Amino acid sequence: MAKGAKPTKRAEAGSVARSGGVESSGRAASGGSRRAAGRAPVGILMGSANDYGVMRAAEEVLDELGVASDVRVISAHRTPQRLVDFLAGAEARGLEVVICGAGGAAHLAGVTAAHTLLPVLGVPIDSSPLQGLDALLATVQMPGGIPVGTLAIGKAGARNAGLLAAAILARKDPALRERLAAWRKAQSDKVPDRP
Ligand code: RP5
Q: Is the CB of 48 under 6 A from ligand 1?
A: yes
Per-residue pLDDT tens digits of the chain, which is 195 residues long: 333 333 333 333 333 322 233 333 444 433 343 333 458 999 999 999 999 999 999 999 999 999 999 999 999 999 999 999 999 999 999 999 999 999 999 999 999 999 999 999 999 999 999 999 999 999 999 999 999 999 999 999 999 999 999 999 999 999 999 999 999 999 999 999 999
Please identify, by atom number, the ligand 1 atom nearest to the C-alpha of residue 101. 4
CB of 78 closer than 8 Å to CB of 103: no
Q: Is residue 143 part of a domain?
A: yes
Q: Is residue 193 part of a domain?
A: no
Q: Is residue 195 part of a domain?
A: no
- The domain of 18 spans 6-186
Q: Is the CB of 139 under 6 A from ligand 1?
A: no
Q: Is residue 192 part of a domain?
A: no
Query: What's the structural domain count of the chain?
Result: 1
For residue 136, the domain's CATH number is 3.40.50.1970
Q: Is the CB of 132 under 6 A from ligand 1?
A: no
Q: Is residue 29 part of a domain?
A: yes
DSSP 123: E
Please state, in angstroms and rounded to a whole number, the distance separating the CA atoms of residues 32 and 68.
Answer: 9
Q: Is the CB of 104 under 6 A from ligand 1?
A: yes
DSSP 193: S
Instruction: Give me the phi and psi of 121, to 5 degrees please.
Output: -110, 130
Of 146, 142, 151, 134, whose CA–CA distance to 58 is shortest?
151
Q: Is residue 194 part of a domain?
A: no
CB of 62 closer than 8 Å to CB of 9: no
